[in-house]
Structure 1
């Protein structure tokens, strides 16, 4: 059990670092073909892998109180951060009018709504045989692309498009994952990643928005019968990349393993850094390959900071709606200050 926890915590930390890095790279995708290829390569697996892992851990959805628990964990933080980001964007972009819409998720907040919906959808799909459920979810995902009204609003498009990946994760078991951890599979995973990157570099006209799952076919191209086969092709690519990524994840305990438990904090908070980065002049500094390596390092630092106990303690009231960590942090600070005062008094006494 401990080994499994280490594996998934390692995977989640590395994935959230890729999420931060991918969002920072977005600024440069139209300026550099290598960056554009790297960006699309990352997007083939980082959110799909998160979704698959989320499905893997949704096996207890039938337990009493589970839905209420995830509603508190997902919907309440969504509402809070939807309000916070609305105010933040209003001042950041100096918008003329303040507009609040709780049903149109800001940027990365779509994942919270979709994750809640996926758990609800399991109530019906879990009763089906695995292949039947996956096939039906896939057919729905392919067909909704023809409905122009299904897009980012309420995160409907992504909810349907990514549900097959969530369902695959739900049906996945540990023994199946163990088959990934052979030397042959790991070697193949490296080769597959290189081939995918090279493919995106050689064919730069591939629209990255196919990987987002948020747009109907009419906004990606002129909708036709070919459109759903293109989406099906991207499904296959993402699935191969997700399992290639998981095959390369270390299973031991490392310095970053514990931070894998704080990915929700990173996911909700990193948007402030990314948006400020995009609006500032800092991004003008990044023009050469070695500087993009530095950007990867910055992404890692942001991820580590937002995964830290201090940030978790400060942000817990608005993310988990609890104050246990915050109270503990305040108690620690209080003890530290008292020791400082006592030390000061002793010093003055000896004088």
Structure 2
């Protein structure tokens, strides 16, 4: 992270950094999968195809998002300005949208239970990003930080007292993906191997093959995945005693397997993301708008039951998928950003002793406004 000293005034340092389309393409693809997963979640109870489809990408879509966020994070001690951004870009939107959820649930369900320690629905990822940023400087001091993060992720599953309070269990579960993203940037892996300049044909073939295998395994083993409730393992939210009928010493091996699956499928996902600018590249800059707002759009449909028992699957599953993509695009458009901007990007100048620390524009917590 940069220091507080003013930068030199040379043309090289004042010129804005060139955006790399790949990262915006990847962010947009990730947020589409997030909305898609939440949109079809009610369909998986009545359709094996929908359930298999759901499992096939739930194994990697949030890991990939965490990798991107880690790639655009740095492990230096945060400056005052960067600490301010944690408040404005993570903490304040979390409090604002938690309050909105309390009000929504009171209107729809008639219950009012304000509790900022229990994130509502998608808001866990905001807390996770904040905790990731705060812990990374300490992990970076150690040898083998990636290995330590894997050990933490596996070990926390054995501790039932580490639960969803402040999203700590899920945050520590996903920690290796965030640290991997940082590690790739720290060791300049992407640049050294030219991963964003050229891809050989066999890389595309291997990625497509991996996803074909992923889809086949998701469908062929569906009975087993239902029995073991595999989707909850991909949430990284519950302790092993909550996921298994009785405590098993080998449960950490299942967590390790889900981590490896997430690593491999994320790599395949990044291989298939276009390197060049696409019609949706610009929308990748506004993933946090989509992430925070889409749950309010989907909430009435999920809770009303209209997505249950939809037949035939061959018609309704593609229809819901298309609508999910449409919602994603709509929520990233400028009119929505103008209306929702004060909620997603709060800038309360009176809150800070030094208002000059407030950024002139928002640095998306996932890194979408950071130089790449």
**TM-score over 0.5 (shorter chain):** yes
Which structure: larger Rg? Answer: 1
5+ residue gaps, structure 1: 324-351
Go from structure 1 to structure 2 and tell me whether the alpha carbon gap of 1:54 and 1:278 turns closer, same or farther (over 3 Å shift): same
Go from structure 1 to structure 2 and tell me whether the alpha carbon gap of 1:3 and 1:227 turns closer, same or farther (over 3 Å shift): farther
- Deviating 4+ runs (over 3 angstroms): 1-4, 60-63, 176-180
Go from structure 1 to structure 2 and tell me whether the alpha carbon gap of 1:310 and 1:182 turns closer, same or farther (over 3 Å shift): same
Match of 2:23 in 1: 8
1:175, distance to aligned residue in structure 2 (A) = 2.2
In structure 2, distance between residues paired with 1:38 and 1:3: 36
1:21, distance to aligned residue in structure 2 (A) = 0.5
Match of 1:327 in 2: none
Note the alpha carbon deviations across 1:141-182, whole angstroms, 9 max, x for none: 111111111121110101111111100000113226744832
2:343 to 318, 328, 339: 318
In structure 1, distance between residues paired with 2:54 and 2:304: 21
Match of 1:228 in 2: 252
1:242-281 equivalences in 2 (<5 Å): 242-281=266-305
* Structure with more of its chain in helix, by fraction: 1
Note the alpha carbon deviations across 1:298-326, whole angstroms, 9 max, x for none: 01110011000111111111111149xxx
5+ residue gaps, structure 2: 1-15, 349-372
Match of 1:335 in 2: none
| Bigger relative CO (Cα 8 Å, ≥ 6 apart) | 2
1:34, distance to aligned residue in structure 2 (A) = 1.2
Q: Does 1:75 align with 2:91?
A: yes
Go from structure 1 to structure 2 and tell me whether the alpha carbon gap of 1:90 and 1:182 turns closer, same or farther (over 3 Å shift): farther
Give the conservation status (yes or no) of the 8 Å contact 1:60–1:66.
Answer: no
Go from structure 1 to structure 2 and tell me whether the alpha carbon gap of 1:154 and 1:281 turns closer, same or farther (over 3 Å shift): closer
Match of 1:162 in 2: 174
Normalised by the length of structure 1, the TM-score is 0.86
Give the conservation status (yes or no) of the 8 Å contact 2:75–2:136.
Answer: no
Go from structure 1 to structure 2 and tell me whether the alpha carbon gap of 1:136 and 1:261 turns closer, same or farther (over 3 Å shift): same
1:172 to 184, 207, 217: 184
Q: Provide the alpha-carbon RMSD of the alignment.
A: 1.9
Give the conservation status (yes or no) of the 8 Å contact 2:75–2:137.
Answer: no
Go from structure 1 to structure 2 and tell me whether the alpha carbon gap of 1:82 and 1:41 turns closer, same or farther (over 3 Å shift): same
Match of 2:162 in 1: 150
Match of 1:214 in 2: 237
Match of 1:18 in 2: 33
In structure 1, distance between residues paired with 2:19 and 2:40: 31
Go from structure 1 to structure 2 and tell me whether the alpha carbon gap of 1:218 and 1:307 turns closer, same or farther (over 3 Å shift): same
1:62, distance to aligned residue in structure 2 (A) = 3.6
1:137, distance to aligned residue in structure 2 (A) = 1.4
Give the conservation status (yes or no) of the 8 Å contact 1:61–1:119.
Answer: no
1:3, distance to aligned residue in structure 2 (A) = 7.5
Give the conservation status (yes or no) of the 8 Å contact 2:88–2:347.
Answer: no
1:276, distance to aligned residue in structure 2 (A) = 0.8
Give the conservation status (yes or no) of the 8 Å contact 1:3–1:251.
Answer: no
Normalised by the length of structure 2, the TM-score is 0.82
